[in-house]
Structure 1
Amino acid sequence: MTATLTPPGTEERTPARPPSPLRTELRRGLGPWTGAAVAVTVLVTMYGKAPEWQGRWADVTNLLHVAAGLLGGPLALAAGCWQGGRDRRRGTNDLWESVPRSPLRRLLVAVAPSALWPAAGVLFADAVCALATWPYVSAGRPFLELLAADAMAVAALGALGHLAGRTVRWRLAAPLLGIVGYVVLGLAAYRQGPSRWLGPAGEHQFFWDRPVWWYGPAAMAWAAGLALAAVLAYGLRSARLRPLALVPLAVAIGAATLILRLPPDEGPWRPDPALSRQVCDTGTPQVCLTAVDEDLLPDVSAALAPLNARLKGVPGAPVRWVSGPGGPAGPGDVALPDARQDAVRDRLARPALYLNSAVSWLFSDTCRPGDGTGPNAERASLVNLAVIEWLAPTTDDYGPATTGAQPYIDRLNAKSPAEQRDYLTRYLAANTCRPDEVPIP
C-alpha cells in the first residue's frame, strides 16, 4: 500500500459552498435601494405630521396605513417594474433559460427583491413610529395585524410591478406605472362604499375604535392571493400545472367577498368600550375625556380652570365638559374640542388657544337655514365674539380681528363681578340664532 504524503503546511479543504441565488438577488440590484426609499418616504411623511399621530395607536396606524399604501405602494410598483425588465435590458434572458432550474423557481428568486425589500422598508418605518408613539399613549394597543397587512400589500404591489416589467418592453413603463398606481390607489382610498377597504390606503378617523379581528388576515389574503396567482400564472409553463394559480386566486376572491360585506361607512372599525369610556376629573364643572386621552386630562382641566371659576354657580352654565364618541349625554353636558389636535407629545401645546376653542363651542348653537338674519344680525355676531374674547382671549398670532367687538369687551371688563355674572346668566339663556334675543353688554 502506498501512502499519500501531504506536503507540510497544506491541508485538505472542503470546496466552499456557492452562495444562495436568493441571497445574491436580495443583496444586489435595486431591491435594497427600494426598501430604503420606501422607509425614508414613509418616515418623512410621518415626521411632518407627528403632532397628529404621536399619542394614539389608532392615529399612528391610520397615517402609516395611508402613507404606506398611497406612497410606498406606487414606489414599489415602479421599482418592481424596473427590476423586472433588468434581464431584458441586459440581454441575459437566453442565458437564464439555459439554467437547469425550473422557470417558476427562477421567477420566485427574481421577484423576491421586488416584494421583500419594499415590505421591509414599510415594517422598519412602522417600528420607528411605534417606538416614537409608545411613551405618549394613554390606552389601547398597536394594531399589528393592520401594519402586517400594509406590508403585505406593498410586497404584492412590488411583485405585480415586477411581472409588468417582464411583460412590457418599454423603458418608461416603470415611472408611468408608478403614476397610474398612485392615481388608482388614491381614487380607491377616497371613494365611498366597502370597496375602498380593499385598497391599501383606506382612511379611518375615529380614534376610539378597533378593527374586527379578521380584517387584517383577510386583507393579507386578498393582497397575497392576487400576487401569488399572477406569479404562478406567469411562471408555470406547463398547461397541466397552470390551473394551480386558481387556488390563491380563489383565496383572494374569498377574502375580498368578506371585506365587501363590511358596512359602507364604518368598514372594519368598531367602537372599543375600553377606549371610549369616560374618564372625569373632580372639578366643577367636570371635565371628561375618553380613556384613550386620559393622560391629557390634567392639562385640559388646567386649561379650563379659569373659565370654570367664572361659570361656577351661573344658571345655564355647563355641568360637564364632555369629549368622546357619544358627545353630550345629558342636560348640562357641553361638547369639548378634540384635545389631541392641540397636543404635542401628550401635552397641550397652547392651553389658551384650547380654552378659546372650548368657549366658542359653548356658545355655538346649531341654527336652521334662515336663522341668524335680520337688522341686528351683525351686532349679535359682534356681541358673541366679544363674550368669547372676554372669557378666553385669543393669542396675538391667532384668532379673528376684534376691532368691531372691542367696545363690548371693554364694557364687560368694566362691570362688577355681580354684573358680569348677571350678564352671563342672561347671555346663556338667550338663543344666539335669534339676533334680537342676544343681550347687549
Structure 2
Amino acid sequence: MTAVLTPPPPRATRRAGRATRPVVVELRRGLGPWTGLAVLLTLLVTMYGKAPGWQGRWADATNTLHVAAGLLAGPLALAAGCWQGGRDRRRGTLDLWESAARPPLRRLFVAVAPSALWPAAGALLADAVCLLATWPYAAGGRPFLELLAADAVAVAALGALGHVVGRAVRWRLTAPLLGIVGYVALGVGAYGQGSARWLGPAAEHQFLWDRPVWWFGPVSMAWTAGLALSALLAAGLRPARRRLLALVPLAVAVAAAGLILRLPPDEGPWRPDPALARPLCDDGVPQVCLTAVDARLLPEVSAALAPLNAHLKGIPGAPVRWVGGPFGPPRPGDVELPNAAADAVRGRLPRPDLYLNAAASWLLSDTCRPGDGTGPDAERTSVVNLAVIEWLAPTPEDYGPDTTAARPYIDRLRAKPAAAQRDYLARYLAANTCRPEEVPIP
C-alpha cells in the first residue's frame, strides 16, 4: 500500500491561524492600542516639559517617571479600562461573548488583556525613552528599574480594576468619573504624611543619594497585582463558591500592604547609599566637596567658586571646605553649599555667576535668635552685608536686589589695596552680624 503524504499548510495559512487566537484579536482591536499610545504620549510630553530638571541624574529621572506614571498614566488606564470593560454591554454583544465555549474566567482574562497590557506597555516604552535620554548626562548611581517595573504593574492593575468596574456598572459616565476620582485619590495619597502614602504608585522622594530597600519593588508589585487579580477572580469565577479563590491573591495583597505600612512615614523605603553619598573633593583652598552622584558637577562648581575662593584663601575665619551633601556632622570650618543639583541642567551649571552669588550669601548669612539683629545700627549692618556680598560675588544685572544703597561701601572695598581688603574681610568674618554694633564699616 502506498502511503499518501499530506503536504503541510502554506506558511500564510499557518500565520493566519496563529493570528486568530482570541487574546491576539482582543489586543489588536478596541481601545487598548489607543490607550497605550495615550499613556506613552502623556508621559513623554510631561517628561519633555521637565527635562532640564531630571535629565542629568538617574534618581531624578526615576522619581519623575514614577510620579508621572502614578498621577497621569494610572487614572488614564483606570478610565480607559472602565470604558473597554463596558464595550460589549454597549454593543449588545455580552450574551454572545458569554456563550463562547471557554471557561468564564478565561474569557474575562482575554477581555481584560487590552485594558491591562497596553497601558503598561506604554509606560514601559516611555521609561525606556527617558532613561536613554538620561544616559549621556548621568554620572553616579543607576536607574531603579525595579521601581519602574512596579509602576508598570500598578498601571496594569488599575486598567484591570477599571475593566471590572466597567463590566459591572452600566452608566456611560462611569469611565470619566472613575478617572477623575482615581486622579484625586492617587494625588491625595501621594502627598500624605503617613506610611500609607507608600502604598500608592506616585509617592515622591527627593534625596539623590538614597536607594530603595531591595524588597520594596517586588512587594509593591504583589500589593497592586494582588488587588487586581482578586477583583478579576471575584468577577469571573462561576459558580459563586469558587469565588473563594479570590481570597488567595487578596491575602497576598494584604500581607504586602502590611510590610509597606511598617516603613517609616518620612523615609519610607529609602536608605542612604554610601557609594552615592561619599564626598568627592577638589584640591582647592578652600576645598569644594560634592557627593559622588554629582561628580560631573564638581569641576564646574569649583570653577564657579574660584573668584570667591581667591578672596578667602588664607583669611582667618574663612571656610576650610565647601560641602554639599550628607557628610555627617560638620567639621570645624565646613560651610554648606547651595544645592548645585537643583541649579544644574543636564549635568551642567548654566549660571555660574548666580551660583557664586548664592554661595557668598550663604557664607555671610547668620541665623539670629529672636531679638538679635535690632537696634540703631541694624539697617546699616544690612547694607554693609549686601555690600560685602556684592564685592565678593557681584549679582548678575538681570537678577538680585537693588544695590544702590550699598554702592558707596562697594566702591570703598574695591578701592582698597589688597592687604587692606584682606584685613577688612578677616574682621568682618570674625564679627557677629546678629550684633550690628560689632560689624565693621568699610
- TM norm. shorter chain > 0.5: yes
Consecutive aligned runs of 4 or more in structure 1 exceeding 6 Å deviation: 10-15
Q: 8 Å contact 2:321–2:335 — kept in the other structure?
A: yes
Provide the residue aligned with 2:246 in structure 1: 245
Give yes or no for the alignment of 1:111 onto 2:149. no
In 2 relative to 1, CA 191–12 (structure 1 residues): closer, same or farther, beyond 3 Å? closer
Q: Provide the C-alpha distance between the structure 1 equivalents of 2:62 and 2:314, rounded to a whole number of angstroms.
A: 43
Q: 8 Å contact 2:62–2:144 — kept in the other structure?
A: yes
Alpha-carbon distance, 1:160 to partner? 0.7
- Kindly provide the amino acid, as one letter, of the partner of residue 189 in structure 1: A
Alpha-carbon distance, 1:208 to partner? 0.2
Q: Any unmatched runs of 5+ in structure 1?
A: 5-9
Alpha-carbon distance, 1:240 to partner? 2.8
Give yes or no for the alignment of 1:304 onto 2:305. yes
Q: Provide the C-alpha distance between the structure 1 equivalents of 2:33 and 2:51, rounded to a whole number of angstroms.
A: 27
3-state SS of paired residue (1:136): coil
Provide the residue aligned with 1:411 in structure 2: 412
Alpha-carbon distance, 1:327 to partner? 6.1
Provide the residue aligned with 1:7 in structure 2: none
Q: Provide the C-alpha distance between the structure 1 equivalents of 2:28 and 2:407, rounded to a whole number of angstroms.
A: 69
Provide the residue aligned with 2:226 in structure 1: 225
Deviations 1:289-340 (A, max 9, x none): 1011111111111111111111111111111111111366211111111212
3-state SS of paired residue (1:241): helix
Q: 8 Å contact 1:328–1:335 — kept in the other structure?
A: no
Alpha-carbon distance, 1:373 to partner? 2.5
* Residues 11-160 of structure 1 aligned to structure 2 (within 5 Å): 17=17, 19-160=20-161
* Residues 42-441 of structure 1 aligned to structure 2 (within 5 Å): 42-326=43-327, 329-441=330-442
Deviations 1:94-129 (A, max 9, x none): 111221112111111111111111111111111111
Q: TM-score, normalised by structure 1?
A: 0.95
In 2 relative to 1, CA 188–11 (structure 1 residues): closer, same or farther, beyond 3 Å? closer
Q: 8 Å contact 2:57–2:347 — kept in the other structure?
A: no
Alpha-carbon distance, 1:365 to partner? 1.5
3-state SS of paired residue (1:348): coil
Q: 8 Å contact 2:54–2:346 — kept in the other structure?
A: no
Q: Provide the C-alpha distance between the structure 2 equivalents of 1:432 and 1:278, rounded to a whole number of angstroms.
A: 31
3-state SS of paired residue (1:17): helix
Q: Provide the C-alpha distance between the structure 2 equivalents of 1:233 and 1:432, rounded to a whole number of angstroms.
A: 69
Alpha-carbon distance, 1:147 to partner? 0.4
Q: 8 Å contact 1:70–1:201 — kept in the other structure?
A: yes
Q: 8 Å contact 2:279–2:327 — kept in the other structure?
A: no
Alpha-carbon distance, 1:179 to partner? 0.9
Q: Provide the C-alpha distance between the structure 2 equivalents of 1:188 and 1:432, rounded to a whole number of angstroms.
A: 44
In 2 relative to 1, CA 328–132 (structure 1 residues): closer, same or farther, beyond 3 Å? farther
Q: Provide the C-alpha distance between the structure 2 equivalents of 1:141 and 1:433, rounded to a whole number of angstroms.
A: 44
Q: Provide the C-alpha distance between the structure 2 equivalents of 1:239 and 1:220, rounded to a whole number of angstroms.
A: 27
Q: Provide the C-alpha distance between the structure 1 equivalents of 2:86 and 2:104, rounded to a whole number of angstroms.
A: 16
Q: 8 Å contact 2:80–2:162 — kept in the other structure?
A: yes
Alpha-carbon distance, 1:251 to partner? 0.5
Q: Any unmatched runs of 5+ in structure 2?
A: none
- Kindly provide the amino acid, as one letter, of the partner of residue 202 in structure 1: A
Q: 8 Å contact 1:68–1:122 — kept in the other structure?
A: yes
Identity %: 78
Q: Provide the C-alpha distance between the structure 2 equivalents of 1:262 and 1:176, rounded to a whole number of angstroms.
A: 32
Q: Provide the C-alpha distance between the structure 2 equivalents of 1:118 and 1:405, rounded to a whole number of angstroms.
A: 59
- Kindly provide the amino acid, as one letter, of the partner of residue 327 in structure 2: G
In 2 relative to 1, CA 234–12 (structure 1 residues): closer, same or farther, beyond 3 Å? closer
Q: 8 Å contact 1:62–1:203 — kept in the other structure?
A: yes
- Kindly provide the amino acid, as one letter, of the partner of residue 278 in structure 2: R
| Between 241-250 and 409-418, the greater mean CA deviation after superposition | 409-418
3-state SS of paired residue (2:208): coil
Q: TM-score, normalised by structure 2?
A: 0.95
Q: 8 Å contact 2:344–2:350 — kept in the other structure?
A: yes
| Between 370-379 and 259-268, the greater mean CA deviation after superposition | 370-379
| Between 12-21 and 226-235, the greater mean CA deviation after superposition | 12-21
Q: Provide the C-alpha distance between the structure 1 equivalents of 2:393 and 2:8, rounded to a whole number of angstroms.
A: 87
Q: Provide the C-alpha distance between the structure 2 equivalents of 1:165 and 1:404, rounded to a whole number of angstroms.
A: 68
Alpha-carbon distance, 1:377 to partner? 2.3
| Between 56-65 and 221-230, the greater mean CA deviation after superposition | 56-65
- Kindly provide the amino acid, as one letter, of the partner of residue 186 in structure 1: G
3-state SS of paired residue (1:431): coil
Deviations 1:2-39 (A, max 9, x none): x99xxxxx998678526111111111111111111111
Q: 8 Å contact 2:105–2:237 — kept in the other structure?
A: yes
Q: Provide the C-alpha distance between the structure 1 equivalents of 2:413 and 2:24, rounded to a whole number of angstroms.
A: 76
Deviations 1:126-185 (A, max 9, x none): 111111111212211111100000101111111111111111211111111111111111
